[in-house]
Structure formats: structure tokens, C-alpha cells
């Protein structure tokens, strides 16, 4: 497959910083869209426009056969456990390919798979967010959080957001968040805005925000998390968890069936936000933009063949 666009994630920064126990050289990036060059699978022929389902699995174990690719013993992320998409040509399992949604540019097609799949599973399968509920999205500049705002709006839920950056709070409002709060001590503002707190908190920051996230929960609320960018260990005030009948839910990537459901939502109008586009040979500058946490939405690599 000839890659036309790829996009980078926080994971790629950890790879570049050497935090992922991967021995270089390694081609980074999990997200890619492009054109089939050759195929041994009759499902695809040269010239087909496709994008990549970025979850790696063996497709054959009991979990995979029951549709739970994320529980496969061979589970991995493209670009972390294999070479990734920041390249011109990639050899990939035909089962990881899906037709590129019509109406999406190459950059948009490469911008959404990992973050939207992750946020989709978190909000729909794990937290089971409903249209009559309120969700609080933490750290509303990160790709996965921007995806969460859009997916929650798509579901029809009421959305609140937090960010340290005033510019990003403004962008969150433009995407449909009803209110956006500063990241410090946000639970007070959340409780004022909601009276009883929120039904779901969308977390990916971890120790820096978890306490405030728990304080923001309504009775019976759920915190769902896919990451911990502020450190790996966090303290929990236990009574807040049990007295409030709260749930703390972990989630990572998503299944092929969830990716298919997401693609249907894209067909119904869900669109990723592209922050910036860099040519492949300026990948260093793209990583630097992500490292500075200046982005809102996805940092994309454009790859000309």
C-alpha cells in the first residue's frame, strides 16, 4: 500500500524519547491512508483507496474470533509493535484495511483512525454514554480529546471540557462543548454548571487531573481512561469511588467492529480536526509541535509518491 498521509500520536513522542522499550530503527505512526499497490487478497485490488485499522492482532485466537481484538494475546499498536505508517510504502494485513470514506481528504482520512477509534470505544462500549447524559472531556487539545468532543456531540450528549489553554477552550466551544473550564480546580465550575456533576469523565491525563475528575462525577458516574500523560501512578480518594457508586474504566484502542461502527458515523458526517500538515521529511517539526502541546486536533504527515 502506498501511504498518502499519516498522522502522529502521543505514542510516537514516547517512541522518539525512548520510553517504549523499542529498539530502533522503527518506522513510527499508527495512522495511515493511501492506495493499494498489490494484494494477495481478493477483497482488494491495486488502486483501491483505503485507510488502516491500527490495532494489531492475530485475527485467529478465541478473542479475535469473538470480535475482541483488543484482548488478543498478540494485541499491539501499529508503529509501536511493528513498523508504522510514516513511510511511502507499507506491507500490511488485508484485514487491517477499510475503504476510505468518500468525501474525506487524504489528510482527514489519516487523521482519525487511532484517536477516534480509541475515543469511540471509550464513550460507546466502555462508558456507554447516552444522549441524555453529560460528559466532561479533560485536556481538550489532545487528538483523542478532540475526537471525544466530536463523538459525544454525535451521540447527542451534553459536553463540557477542560484545558489549560484559553485558545483551546475557545476551540472546544466551537466544536460544540457547552462550557470549557481551566484545568486547575475545575470540579467546582463543573458542579456549578451541572448541579449534580457529570455522568462520564473522559480521562487521558492521569495523576494531574484524576482527583478533580472524581470530584466532578455525579452519583453513579463513570470515569473512562485511555492514557496517563502526566505520569503512571495516581492516588484515589477511595470514598469518592464507593460512596458515589462510581466506576473507573480502562480502555485501549478498539475492535474491528467498533472501527466499522465509527466509519458509519463518519459517513453520517463525523469529521476529524486537522491541526497541521507537514511533509514527511519534516517529521521532526511535526513531533516538536506535538511535544509542545500546542496542537488542537491531529498533526498529519503528507506523503507524496
Residues that bind Zn ion (CB under 5 A): 57-58, 61, 64, 72
Rounded Cα–Cα distance for residues 138 and 148 (Å): 10
Nearer to Zn ion, 108 or 258 (CB): 258
Residue located via cell numbers 466544536: 175
Continuous segment of H or E residues that includes residue 301: strand 298-302
Smallest gap from Cβ 181 to Zn ion, in A, equals 41
Rounded to 5°, the CA angle 205-183-126 comes to 40
Nearer to Zn ion, 58 or 178 (CB): 58
List all residues 6 or more positions away from 196 whose beta carbon is below 8 Å from its beta carbon: 218, 219
Nearer to Zn ion, 64 or 119 (CB): 64
Smallest gap from Cβ 59 to Zn ion, in A, equals 6
Helix, strand, coil % in the chain, rounded to nearest 5: 35, 20, 45
Smallest gap from Cβ 63 to Zn ion, in A, equals 5
Three-class DSSP category at 142: coil
In the bound state, the residue with its beta carbon closest to Zn ion is 72
Beta strand 49-52 with 31-35: parallel, antiparallel or unpaired?
antiparallel
List all residues 6 or more positions away from 267 whose beta carbon is below 8 Å from its beta carbon: 101, 102
Task: List the 158-162 sheet strands across, edge first.
Answer: 179-181, 158-162, 134-137, 198-203, 217-225, 247-250
Smallest gap from Cβ 287 to Zn ion, in A, equals 31
Nearer to Zn ion, 72 or 86 (CB): 72
Nearer to Zn ion, 141 or 254 (CB): 254
Nearer to Zn ion, 80 or 199 (CB): 80
Continuous segment of H or E residues that includes residue 217: strand 217-225
Smallest gap from Cβ 77 to Zn ion, in A, equals 14
Distances from the Cα of 114 to the Cα of 55, 62, 77, 241, angstroms: 8, 24, 9, 29
**Are 35 and 1 a contacting pair, CB within 8 Å?**
yes
Smallest gap from Cβ 261 to Zn ion, in A, equals 20
Nearer to Zn ion, 58 or 211 (CB): 58
Smallest gap from Cβ 258 to Zn ion, in A, equals 15
Amino acid at each position: 500500500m502506498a501511504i498518502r498521509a499519516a498522522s502522529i500520536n502521543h505514542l510516537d513522542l514516547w517512541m522518539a524519547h525512548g520510553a517504549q522499550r523499542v529498539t530502533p530503527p522503527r518506522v513510527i505512526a499508527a495512522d495511515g491512508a493511501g492506495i493499494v499497490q498489490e494484494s494477495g487478497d481478493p477483497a482488494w485490488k491495486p488502486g483501491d483507496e483505503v485507510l488502516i485499522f491500527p490495532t494489531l492482532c492475530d485475527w485467529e485466537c478465541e478473542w479475535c474470533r469473538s470480535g475482541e481484538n483488543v484482548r488478543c494475546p498478540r494485541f499491539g499498536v501499529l508503529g509501536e509493535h511493528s513498523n508504522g505508517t510514516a513511510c511511502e510504502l507499507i506491507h500490511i494485513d488485508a484485514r487491517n484495511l477499510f475503504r476510505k470514506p468518500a468525501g474525506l481528504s487524504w489528510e482527514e482520512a489519516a487523521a482519525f483512525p487511532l484517536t477516534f477509534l480509541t475515543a469511540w470505544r471509550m464513550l460507546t462500549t466502555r462508558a456507554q454514554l447516552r444522549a441524555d447524559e453529560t460528559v466532561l472531556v479533560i485536556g481538550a487539545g489532545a487528538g483523542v480529546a478532540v475526537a471525544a468532543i466530536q463523538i459525544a456531540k454525535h451521540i447527542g450528549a451534553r459536553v463540557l471540557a477542560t484545558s489549560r489553554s484559553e485558545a483551546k477552550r475557545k476551540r472546544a466551544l466551537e466544536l460544540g462543548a457547552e462550557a470549557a473550564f481551566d484545568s486547575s480546580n475545575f470540579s467546582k465550575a463543573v458542579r456549578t454548571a451541572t448541579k449534580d456533576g457529570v455522568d462520564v469523565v473522559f480521562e487521558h491525563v492521569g495523576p494531574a487531573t484524576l482527583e478533580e475528575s472524581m470530584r466532578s462525577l455525579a452519583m453513579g458516574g463513570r470515569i473512562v481512561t485511555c492514557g496517563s500523560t502526566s505520569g503512571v501512578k495516581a492516588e484515589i480518594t477511595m470514598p469518592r469511588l464507593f460512596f458515589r457508586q462510581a466506576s473507573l474504566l480502562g480502555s485501549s484502542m478498539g475492535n474491528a467492529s467498533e472501527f466499522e461502527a465509527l466509519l458509519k458515523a463518519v459517513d453520517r458526517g463525523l469529521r476529524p480536526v486537522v491541526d497541521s500538515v507537514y511533509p514527511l521529511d519534516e517529521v521532526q517539526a511535526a513531533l516538536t509541535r506535538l511535544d509542545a502541546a500546542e496542537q488542537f486536533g491531529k498533526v498529519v504527515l503528507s506523503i507524496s509518491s
